Amino acid sequence: MKFGARNLIKAKVKSVKKGDIMSLVKFDVISPAEMASVLSTESADHLDLKPGDEVELVVKAIHVLPVKN
């Protein structure tokens, strides 16, 4: 299956709660993942980001796409 998302995180299904129209599926992440972010240089300068800095990543997305191999 082809999909457009670039950041891929391996996970295991933790629970499935089905409703009439929508279902809530929760996942446990099972492997580390590398993620990338594009931000303005002004923001990067403000954060003073350097290799080795520890940060928290906030994922802002409208979709998490589960893909079953």
So what's the pLDDT on residue 18?
93
pLDDT over 90, % of the chain: 17
DSSP state of 48: T
Q: How far is residue 13's CA from residue 1's CA, in Å, rounded to a whole number?
A: 19
Residue 57: what residue type? L
* Domain range enclosing 15: 1-69
**26-53: per-residue pLDDT in tens?**
888 877 667 778 888 999 899 998 988 8
So what's the pLDDT on residue 32?
67
Q: CA dist 63 to 5, 9, 60, Å? A: 10, 13, 9
So what's the pLDDT on residue 28?
87
What is the number of domains present in the chain?
1
Across 62-67, average pLDDT: 76
Which of 65, 64, 47 is closest to 56 using CA atoms?
47
